[in-house]
Chains A and B, each alone.
Chain A
């Protein structure tokens, strides 16, 4: 029978003995070593210049084809919104099929297949706003995933593990930007990932490559020489829905207050 004194002694011994090798692990934390050597990877960010967007929808087309989101399905990883502000102060917004085919009609889509006609002389201002995943620094979708199937990479991009997602839809509910959807073929959560397979190989995203007007640009915020970083640091940029505390990393030039 072990007495109390020996029990306490042995307990302390084991705890102390375990602490030693564990602290060694802390000493040689590979992440910290890497950080001390100042070998930080990229932090991918996006820059949208709304003043340059003409609403052609080529980015949406390019994205759908590149990322195999079924072309005719009414979901999309990126889309373009059209804003018309009329003289009565009202804002009219639409994005037919996510602007996959651009905006073929002048009328505004108001749901149920109905259209609203707006007279040219009533329009005070009109503009287009491309949208995509904000790859938030504090992503609510990652927080709420019950199985860890959606996660953030070191370079800031939020990805979905298609082999592990259970399809509960909690991440779709948790995203204030509505960028997530269920993939109609894989039946798991899906969203824009800045074309991770392309940018990690030094290429541009499909939407950036499709944009003939330079409205979309991708950059590395950790590189001070990156032209996108320079714009973000020196010009007046804005982000969407800052009030949710998500710290979005898609920056906008020329964002108007009407943008939702």
Chain B
């Protein structure tokens, strides 16, 4: 009889009989996805709260994207639970000494903040679309649905006078300001979930929440830049055929300006993240407590390629150089942001999987083999298939959300 974890765990030397890699790719996806949510939100708040005008172009984009990512932050947890139908119990009987218990509260608070901020940002659009559809004498079934949807979305507030819109903007600013600490908390506590496990020598460090927040902002900004570039390229291609869109040249200059500005913020957060991660590593080596022997052989031998080549080299050093060399081009930005995303993903991987790469007996190792081709529901959920499912859904949601809340349309 197969035990959970046995399918993908290879054991070497002495491990306790019950030890397996219990937290797999989905638990790598979970902090990765919440990181993207938090990062995208912080990026949009830079414009809304701190008035960084240059980020106006990407602010609304990243806010909608953050909302599209939000439900997906929960999905990996559901796919990972042995009893997914009981997941709701975290909300029903939260046991507050557990870091996970706060999930329901933080998650819903954050969701409500983003939803209401979006409502204030898009209220004018909702009203205008609803009124325009209502004015039409003949509506097809699609338009009928859209009319109902947009009327519902206005929630009866049809006032779009100058004063009302100014009040909206004030509300957006307040919500964005309230959202920053909540977004940081949402992700910082994901770091706390790992950092507070005293049984795990690799995870236990008070730096973990801060490292997670910094790398979250890095990954969120990187994904926003990347998606922004891709959508702009699509718009450029469409601009040739559709005259109502801005011209190709206009789009091009707007695009590169936004990308250059945003990548500066990306760099700042990246330096902070790398500094903290290296500080953690140096500190562990210097203090060299009981667990260091086994940690050293995991970090410098078994996971060397994952940590130093892929995460620090390809994921941090190369993009750092790409962004620092003057005259940032779109192509370089694409490569840079893609590598940054890889780097942050590998950082999550090296924490979650690396933390289980050694036995709590400090006398043996465990190796995780990612199930590529699923032969059961379990190996699908906790394998490549499940991870890809989680990675693809936010883009589908973003596409749908964009129909209701167009990210590029001028509203205010």
Contact = CB atoms under 8 A, between A and B. Distances in A.
Contacts of A75: 3, 17-18
Interface in A54-98: 70, 72-76, 79, 81, 91, 93-95, 97-98
Contact of A260 (B23, B81, B92, B361): B361
Interface string B69-99: 0000000010011110011011011110111
A166 B87 contact: yes
A255 B197 CA distance: 26
B143 interface: no
A146 B199 contact: no
Contacts of B398: none
Interface string B15-54: 1111110110000000000000000000000000000000
Report whether over half of chain B's contact residues are helix, strand or loop; otherwise say mixed: loop
Given A140-B198, A174-B199, A182-B5, A79 B17 contact: yes
A173 B16 contact: no
B262 interface: no
A168 B199 CA distance: 16
B94 A147 contact: yes
A188 B365 CA distance: 25
B198 to A, nearest CB: 6
B203 to A, nearest CB: 8
B10 interface: yes
Given A182-B4, A182-B5, A187-B82, A176 B363 contact: no
A27 to B, nearest CB: 27
Interface string A241-252: 001110000000
A143 interface: yes
A244 B199 contact: yes
Contact of A110 (B3, B12, B90, B361): B12
B361 A93 contact: yes
Nearest to B11: A111
A244 B291 CA distance: 12
B119 interface: no
A145 interface: yes
Interface in A195-254: 243-245
B55 to A, nearest CB: 37
B30 to A, nearest CB: 11
B200 interface: yes
Contact of B10 (A112, A167, A174): A112
B98 A178 contact: no
Contacts of B98: 143-146, 170
A146 B94 CA distance: 6
A164 B22 CA distance: 19
Interface in B265-304: 290
A160 interface: no
B81 A97 contact: no
B86 A182 contact: no
Given A95-B14, A147-B89, A169 B23 contact: yes
Nearest to B194: A173
Contact of B364 (A70, A111, A173): A111
13 contacts: A70-B1, A110-B13, A112-B12, A142-B97, A146-B94, A147-B92, A148-B95, A170-B98, A172-B18, A174-B198, A177-B16, A180-B18, A187-B83
Given A70-B1, A146-B94, A175-B199, 13 more contacts: A79-B17, A95-B14, A131-B16, A144-B97, A145-B98, A172-B22, A173-B23, A178-B16, A178-B19, A181-B4, A188-B83, A244-B199, A260-B361
Interface of B: 1-6, 10-20, 22-23, 77, 80-83, 86-87, 89-90, 92-95, 97-101, 103, 193, 196-200, 290, 359-365
